[in-house]
Chain A
Amino acid sequence: MHEMSVALSVVDQVEQAARARGALGVQHVHLDIGELAGVVSDSLRFCFGLACAGTLLEGSELVTRSVPGSARCAPCGRTWDTGMPPDMLCPDCRAAATELVAGRELRITEVRWAADTAAPGSPAQPATILEES
Chain B
Amino acid sequence: MCRVVDLQQAVLAKNTMAAGILRSELTARGTTVVNLLSSPGSGKTALLERELTIARERAVPAAALTADLATENDAVRLSRSGVPVKQVLTDGLCHLEADMLAGHLHNWLPEDTRLLFVENVGNLVCPASYDLGETLRVVLASVTEGEDKPLKYPTAFGLAHLVIVTKADLAGPAEFDEAAFRAHVQQVNPGVEVVLSSVRSGQGAGLLVERALAAAEGAEVHAPVMAQARA
Contact = CB atoms under 8 A, between A and B. Distances in A.
Interface residues of B, number: 42
A47 interface: no
B11 A99 contact: no
A87 interface: yes
Given A2-B129, A98-B228, A132-B231, A36 B10 contact: no
Interface in B17-49: none
A13 B3 CA distance: 17
A89 B8 contact: no
Contacts of B16: 133
B3 A112 contact: yes
Interface in B39-74: none
Nearest to A117: B3
Given A38-B126, A99-B225, A100-B226, A86 B158 contact: yes
Interface in A90-112: 95-112
B91 to A, nearest CB: 13
B206 interface: no
A86 B154 contact: yes
Nearest to A97: B225
A51 interface: no
A89 B126 CA distance: 24
Given A99-B225, A112-B4, A113-B5, A89 B93 contact: no
Given A38-B155, A132-B231, A14 B7 contact: yes
Contact of A89 (B5, B7, B150, B187): B187
B157 to A, nearest CB: 10
Given A102-B230, A106-B11, A107-B9, A36 B4 contact: no
Contact of A85 (B8, B129, B154): B154
Closest 4 CB pairs of A and B: A2-B126, A96-B190, A85-B151, A133-B10
